Amino acid sequence: MKLSQEEANQYHRHLILDEVGVAGQLKLKTAKVLVIGAGGLGCPILQYLAAAGVGTLGIIDDDVVAISNLQRQILYSTDTVGQPKVDVAKKRLEAMNPHVNIIAHNTRLTRDNALEIIRKYDIVVDGSDNFATRYLVNDACVLADKPLVFGSIFKFDGQVTVFNYQNGPTYRCLYPNPPAEDTVPNCSEIGVLGVLPGIIGGLQASETLKIILGLGTVLSGTLLQIDVLSGKQLKLNFKRNPEINITELLPNYEAFCGISSSVQELTWAKVQENPIHYNLLDVRTLEEREAHHLGGLHIPLSDLSTQWNRIPISENLVVYCQSGKRSAKAIHVLKEHLKETTLYSLKGGVNATL
């Protein structure tokens, strides 16, 4: 395999690095990397890996672009709101670098498809925002023997490390058990400084390139923590736990993370059959509400525990968010207060109605 003249021109700054050169650029060209999530972390990860010339980039995400994404998800713009993220990302990345092969997986990573998808790639980069997915990705990477580049963000803080690299520690070595349900809100509930995903995602891309090129010291067994408000950085070393032995995927990662599966779901088509029969509650952010909504009362999930008494008494209440995740959480909050009301989560959220 060789580099074309166009590729040599595009990657010139790599080629003149003694540590990279043509041989290193060819390693990048033949590499296959899967990025989990095309959100705040996924956007900078994908852009830098595509720009660097990683030959095959897989993107897996089942979400669509929302107006509230634009504060930090820099692959998207107002004219792409409502479109599948993987489709928009693929188009933008191909325009950035026509020499890379972008594979869009417009689906949610599940127990049923995780191993099949992950086995097709050399490295997995996790940009997900929930614990069930993180444990699933970790376990699948262990079973498929793939290094996992991990990143997470919370308000003004971020973390980066590499799991399962050359028999190094895994996510479960660092976090054997998930936190209790709803004790760690995601950025849609608590917020995040827009630049933070760019910093952490850039570091994840850096670790990925180091693994491909065999450069530097990979953050295996080292958790890098960054506080952007103070500028402080801390490295925490951790070891592989020999007592943790992953032999198969769990039957239900949501249940493992304490997420109840008892929430009743209702499709939008079913609601429209008899709309008078159902009251609607939107638990998304104000920005999401103003961009597009399905009607009904609006109480953000972050305010629901104190404002639930604004909800009128009714026989049936359909709670909705963008994808169905927050609405399920909202129902757990409401169950103890609205004991006489039948609560439903709108299946697929607003995304399923577009």
Give pLDDT tens digits for 168-181: 999 999 999 888 65
254 or 114: whose pLDDT is higher? 114
Tell me the two tokens of residue 320: 């909705």
Residue 46 neighbours by CB under 8 Å, 6+ apart: 35, 38, 57, 59, 75, 89, 93
Instruction: Give the pLDDT score at 222.
Output: 98
Q: How many CA atoms lie within 13 A of 174 on its CB side?
A: 22
Residue 292, CA distances (Å) to 67, 85, 181, 318 in order: 9, 17, 29, 17
Q: What is the pLDDT of residue 179?
A: 82
Q: What amino acid occupies position 37?
A: G
Q: In the prediction, which pLDDT does 180 show?
A: 65
Question: Which amino acid, residue 43?
Answer: C
DSSP state of 84: B
Q: Tell me the pLDDT tens digit for each residue of 182-205.
A: 566 666 667 899 999 999 999 999
Q: In the predicted model, what is the mean pLDDT of the chain? A: 93
Intra-chain end-to-end CA distance of the chain, in Å: 44
Which letter, b or e, does each residue of 139-172 get, where b requires 16 or more Cβ atoms within 10 Å of its Cβ? bbbbbbebbbbbbbbeeebbbbbbbbbeebbbbb
pLDDT digits (tens, 9 = 90+) for 296-309: 999 999 899 899 99
- Residues 272-298: what's their mean pLDDT? 93
Task: Answer yes or no: is pLDDT of 105 > 80.
Answer: yes
Distance CA 107, CA 202 (A): 24
